[in-house]
Amino acid sequence: MDQTVRAGDCCPSKEASGDQYDLIVVGAGSAGFSASITAAEAGKRVALVGHGTIGGTCVNVGCVPSKAMIRAAEAVHGGASAARFPGIAASAHAVDWGAVVKGTGDLVAEMRRKKYVDLLPAYENVTYIDEGAARLVEGGVTVGGRVISAPRVLIATGSRPHMPAIDGIEDVAALDSWGLLTLPDRPDSLMVLGGGYIGCELAQMASRLGVKVTLVTRSRLLPGAEPEVAEALAQALIAEGIAVETGLAYTSVAQAAGGVTLTLDRDGKTEALTAERLVVTTGRVANSGNLGLEDLGIETDARGRVKVGPDMATSRPGVWAAGDVTDRDQFVYMAAYGAKVAINNALGLEPMRYDNAAMPWVVFTDPQVAGVGLSEAEASAAGHEVKTSVLTLDNVARAAAARDTRGVIKLVADARTDRLLGGQIAAPEGSDTIQTLAMALKFGMTARALGETIFPYLTTVEGLKLAAQTFDKDVAKLSCCAG
């Protein structure tokens, strides 16, 4: 799928007029803006065609609103959890759910304006077009009854929540993640369907804001995470009063007197769970329909995601794709990165290849779950002779001083070379800690080198050093700062 075009090849000049451009970007979210800005800074004339609300998923219905409400929930929970310190009594905070939702909406509007709408005037050679749905055609796209032409097109239309095929689900007014984040009144109880990162984050957020929550998933929480890490999170959620139901099959849902009833099968037995509202967080679907992809021979996978090569090129010459609409990583920062890769290759600026070998990821629960590189299972499948170390947080001084030893660190290394292959962490400050491990992987560090690196004492990140030392010694027998 490598179809790099060198700058100047068959390209209209910046002075081109009318509906002719150097590049058309379909989708005005993170990937779309990243692509448009990269091309504009290279002096190219860009048509940025809107697809949904400007700003895309992250700022409007994903990262920004969810993390804002998660932080609000953390503040509420902090009063209750303060009792873990001797001499400090727990305190309760009144929660006005509607006011929290409104404040979050205000923040979203501000961020959308600052980071998207207000940026457009700064790039004079980017024309924003929001005249209806776009469809790819030979030589460009059609939108609003007109044809916009360019030798290069980038698809960046994102994704939307997936609604599972469960009998009766269309009749119960199920909420998706955005529906919950904008719900004007707090429900007494919620049933969250799906144990991935969105389900876990929203379940804990709602519980801390005063909702009785049941988290339901077919396998286990965070099925892509290391079992030790996922179990640490599950135990933390259960300790907060969240009912975690795993290892089951969905049978049907129906409206009932008490709200919504989910009928399920577990170990051959039929059970029923009921809550006031049902929140569905069972993944996302690429926004690839109605774009005319099939007519142009642009390949998609079974989930509708556009197939791209390492240069982010599709199977159609002259068409690239980036972000959640593709078969690549579904993170906003990777969407922006993928778009930069695509445009650099499309315009012949700097040859780039999509590389996620040291890509960190985070689940914003408490404890936070974060990882980078290969899991133990992935490393084994890749042919490595694997060795692992597992360190519980009661071995980390920072956790002991904070009176919060929930969590675990797991490292994966090649047994023959000692080179680090990956790692995951569940810890209250796991999101900030993981970047150190990402840098270690990026530069090919060994477990021994990580264990010999100087780390500041009484930090969570010091746990990485201790976990690295755990490959060869019992760190419980070391004094403070030793080793």
With cut-offs at 50, 70 and 90, classify the pLDDT of residue 12: very low
Say what the pTM is: 0.93
- 56-72 residue pLDDT tens: 999 999 999 999 999 99
Structural contact between residues 186 and 95, judged by C-beta atoms closer than 8 angstroms: yes
pLDDT > 50? residue 1? no
For helices 332-346 and 30-41, angle between their N-to-C axes, nearest 10 degrees? 30
pLDDT > 50? residue 9? no
- The boundaries of every CATH 3.50.50.60 domain in the chain are 23-55+116-160+285-346, 169-282
| Per-residue confidence (pLDDT) for residue 14, from 0 to 100 | 36
What topology is assigned to 361-471 in CATH?
Answer: Enolase-like; domain 1 (3.30.390)
- CATH of 23-55+116-160+285-346, picked from 3.40.50.300, 3.30.1330.80, 3.50.50.60, 3.40.50.2300, is 3.50.50.60
- 323-382 residue pLDDT tens: 999 999 999 999 999 999 999 999 999 999 999 999 999 999 999 999 999 999 999 999
| Per-residue confidence (pLDDT) for residue 6, from 0 to 100 | 33
Class of domain 169-282: alpha beta
